[in-house]
Structures are given as structure tokens and as C-alpha cells.
Amino acid sequence: MHSIIENIGLQFGPGAAWLLTSTMIFLRFAIPASLVFLLVYKWKRKEWFAWKIQQRFPKSSQIRQEITYSLLTSLLFGGMALGVFFLRKMGYGQLYFEVAEYGWVYWFLSLAFLIVAHDTYFYWMHRLMHHPKLYRRFHLVHHKSTNPTPYTSFSFHPLESVLEFAIIPVLTLILPVHAAVFFLFTLWSILFNVLGHTGYEISPSGFTRHRLFKWLNTPTHHNMHHHHARFNYGLYFNFWDRVMGTNHPDYDQYFESVVERAGKKPNVPLRQQTTKAAAVIVLLLCSSVAFGQMTLNDIKQGRYGTPEYRTQQVDSLMRVGLPLRADQISKVHDINLRYSKRVEDEVVKSDASDWTKYRRLSKIQDAKDKELKTILNATQFEKYATKRDELFWKGIQDFFF
Ligand SMILES: [Zn+2]
Ligand SMILES: [Zn+2]
């Protein structure tokens, strides 16, 4: 059984797999961004205008440019994702799938750690990007949007997009990260960025002075960064800007003036606002979860590694100690023999390229799984698949360490 991406890769080559991964990454960002954009820049533009931080709308040329750069960014993120995918196939990388391996405490801690680590990394990388030489050459692309929109969140110079997020794939190489943690982190990052660039402030008065909430950045905070191209370098938290004294001196005051304006013009009653905000959040979550799930499955399907190992070592159902009924044993044994022979003939003895061998092996494995499914019940098959993966990892460790 292969993921969509792997199948595309096998059928049409790695370029097509790259394109598909990038498209999925792009959609995962563009769907929530477009929903927000349509709501507050098109359909309900007038109703929400009081909440607009800068009381004007950007030119459509800015939005076109943002979308173009977002496409480029997605292509690079797609390349990064495929890189992690193949490294993992070769046995590098610490993505895991069973929560029990490290427990729930670690699960939550690792999610918090990813967010905090990215926030810290981003702050310093961002400040570096404001060095005049780097700024003109790279970071200016992001700052061309002085009045940001949801689409600004992916609008980076290609090299910068790699740098700003490079820490995440690197962390998954050295730190055990559960697949769902990885997924939730990217979801958080995309949603926070989209909302932070919306150009609208929906936080209530006093937010930036609240004991707890002041540590969280607001859309106004990042909007000021775009407007002035100075101050407010932080991403998720208002920690480093406070510690390093890089918050805009008028941040609190400006925030209150924005909120006050919105308060004076209650175009939409508060209750209705809350309902709408809740509806938007649900829509955002659903669309992101849908695409995130597809990506997650792709990573999960990549759990088996070198095809040779997968087919030769994991092949024998007898060896994995699967409880079989007497009538199943001979059938399974027959399948094992037949497919081992196919592997021997079509792969081991063949001098085709590695890519072709891999393609053949994957096809053989698929055909074998299909036949096994007709003999084994769902529970047995599940157990077989799990054992197959387990054995694979053991094999990788024996091989590399
Ligand atoms: Zn900047
Ligand atoms: Zn920005």
C-alpha cells in the first residue's frame, strides 16, 4: 500500500512527487488564507472595516505578488518535506507513530518545545534578516507588503523561506517527534501566521497589558512590523521583543486606538462577531485538518525503508509469529514462496537501476498485500503490517549502527 505521493513518484518520477507535495502544502496554506481573505476583504469588507488595523486596502498588485511568492515558497517547502521523507526512508529522522513509545507527558512537552524553539529561532533569524545587506537582498520581498494580507504569511524570498523554517526539519532529525505533534505544530504555525497577517485586530481592549495575554503577539504587533519595517520582530510570543527591548514604543497605545475605533463602530454586534469568529475557526481547522491528514498519511506510509529489506526480511509471515489458523498456514506459506521467488527473479538477479528495482519491489509488495488480504482477516492483516514495519526498523538499525 502506497501513499498518493509515493505512487505518483513511482509512476511519473520524483519531479511529479515534488510538485504534488508542494501543491498540498500550498493548498494547506491557501485555503485558510483565502477563506479569511474572502470574508474580510471581499464579502464582509464594509462590516469589518472598523477592525481593519490600517484603514485602507492594499493594491491588487501586492496581492498578486504575494500569491506568486507563496507558490515559490510552497515549492521549496515541498522540497524540504520530500528531503525529510527520503532521509527517513534511509533510516535518519526521529518521527514516531506510537504515543506509548515516549508517553503523553513527552508528547505535550515536545509540542511546546517545537513552538518555543521555533519562536526563538525565528526571532533571531528575523533580526539577522534586518541587517541592511540581507534585508535588501532577501527580506525586502516580505516587507514589500506594508499593509499585509493573509497571503503575506507565505510571501518570502525563496532562500528566506528555507532559512526561517529550516529548524523544524532539523529538529525532527535529532528529537523524537510524534507524527501528530508535527502535524499540530505546522497547523499552529500556519494559522497563527495567517491570522497575524490578516490586517484585522479582533483581540479585546487591554490584551497587550494583561498579565498573561501580553506574552502572546497580536495581529497589530506584526502589522506594525510591516508598516514601519522596524521593531516587533517576534513570531508567536512577545517574549524576545520584551526582553531585548525591540517592541515598538507605541505598541500598547496603538493597539488600544485600533481596538477603540472598532468598539466605537459596532457594525457587527459582539455576539454575532463571536459566532462568526467561531465559524471561521471551525472552517480553518477543518480545511487544514483535511490537508494535514493527507500529508500525515504520506509520512506514515513512508515507514518502510529500503525496498530490499522490506521484501526480503519482512517477508515471512511465519517469522513474525502471527497466530494463523491451520487452514491459513499453507496458503500464506505459498504466498511467501511465490513472492520471494518474484523478488529473486525481478529484483535481486536484475541489473536494473535502483529506482526501477524500487518500483518493481513496491509493486510486488502491493500485489502480495492484496493477496494476503483475501486470506487474513482485518486484525491479522493489521498485525502483520505492524510487525512488518517493526522488523523493518530493527533491520535499519542493524544496518546503520
Ligand atoms: Zn521583517
Ligand atoms: Zn510578516
Question: Tell me, what's the pLDDT at 239?
Answer: 94
| Separation of CA 196 and ligand 2 centre (Å) | 8
Same domain, 378 and 313: yes
Q: Give the DSSP H or E segment for 133.
A: helix 132-134
> In sequence order, what are the residues at sequence separation of 6 or more whose Cβ sits closer than 8 angstroms to the Cβ of residue 104?
none
Q: What's the 99 CA to ligand 2 centre distance in angstroms?
A: 34
Residue 124 CA to ligand 1 centre (angstroms) = 11
Q: Are residues 184 and 329 in the same domain?
A: no
Place of cell 532577501: 138
Say if residue 125 is in the same domain as residue 98.
yes
Query: Which of 284, 280, 283, 288 lies closest to 24, judged by CA?
Result: 288
Ligand that comes closest to the CA of residue 125:
1
Do 317 and 296 lie in one domain? The reply is no
Q: How far is the CA of 159 from the centre of ligand 2 (A)?
A: 16
At residue 353, the pLDDT reads 73
**Structural domain ending residue among the three candidates 235, 270, 301:** 301
* Residue 79 in grid coordinates: 522540497
**47 CA from centroid of ligand 2 (Å):** 25
The reply to whether 160 and 224 lie within a common domain is yes
Q: For residue 174, report the distance from its CA to the centre of ligand 1, in Å.
A: 29
Say how many Å lie between the CA of residue 230 and the centre of ligand 1: 7
**CA 275 – CA 380 distance, rounded (Å):** 47
Amino acid at 289: V
pLDDT reported for residue 47: 84
Tens digits of residue pLDDT in 26-64: 998 899 999 999 999 999 888 888 888 888 898 989 999
| Strands (DSSP E) found in 325-393 | none
Task: Please tell me the distance from the alpha carbon of residue 118 to that of residue 233, in angstroms, as a whole number.
Answer: 13
- Measured CA to CA in angstroms, residue 177 lies from 95, 168, 295 at distances of 5, 10, 15
Residues 329 and 230 in one domain: no
- pLDDT score for 363: 83
Total tally of structural domains belonging to the chain:
2
Instruction: For residue 58, report the distance from its CA to the centre of ligand 2, in Å.
Output: 15
CA distance 81 to 6: 13
* Residue 21 CA, ligand 2 centroid: distance in Å: 24
Residue 197 CA to ligand 2 center (angstroms) comes to 6
Which ligand is in closest contact with the Cα of 223?
A: 2
- Tell me, yes or no, whether 192 and 263 share the same domain: yes
For residue 252, report the distance from its CA to the centre of ligand 1, in Å. Answer: 20
Query: What is the pLDDT, as a whole number, of residue 5?
Result: 64
Looking at the chain, how many residues does it have? 401
Residues 387 and 320 sit within 8 Å (Cβ to Cβ): yes
- Ligand with minimal distance to 233 CA: 1
Q: 207 C-alpha vs ligand 1 centroid, how far in Å?
A: 23
Q: How far, in Å, from the CA of 22 to the mean position of ligand 2?
A: 21
- Does residue 336 share a domain with residue 233? no
Which ligand sits closest to the CA of 192?
2
The predicted model scores a pTM of 0.66
pLDDT of residue 56: 87
Among 280, 301, 322, where does a domain finish?
301
Q: Are residue 239 and residue 355 in the same domain, yes or no?
A: no
- From the CA of 193, how far away is ligand 1's center (Å)? 13
Ligand showing the shortest atom-to-Cα distance for residue 139: 1
Q: What is the pLDDT of residue 282?
A: 76
CA 225 to chain centre: 25
- Per-run averaged pLDDT (10 residues), the chain, 401 residues: 60 79 89 92 86 88 92 90 76 79 90 94 94 91 91 91 84 85 87 92 86 91 91 94 94 90 61 70 66 49 41 44 69 79 80 74 83 85 74 48 35
Is 284 in the same domain as 254? yes
Give yes or no: residues 31 and 105 share one domain.
yes
CA distances to 39, 199, 236, 362 from 143, rounded to whole Å, are 24, 14, 18, 46
Task: Give residue 226 CA to ligand 2 midpoint distance, Å.
Answer: 6
Where in the sequence is the domain holding 347, given as residue range(s)?
Answer: 307-400
Q: Which ligand is nearest to the CA of 146?
A: 2
Distance (angstroms) between ligand 1 centre and the Cα of 110 equals 28
Q: Which of 237, 271, 301 is the last residue of a domain?
A: 301
Assess whether 263 and 311 both reside in one domain. no
Predicted local confidence at residue 318, as pLDDT: 46
Q: What was the pLDDT predicted at 293?
A: 52
CA 230 to centroid of ligand 2, rounded, Å: 12
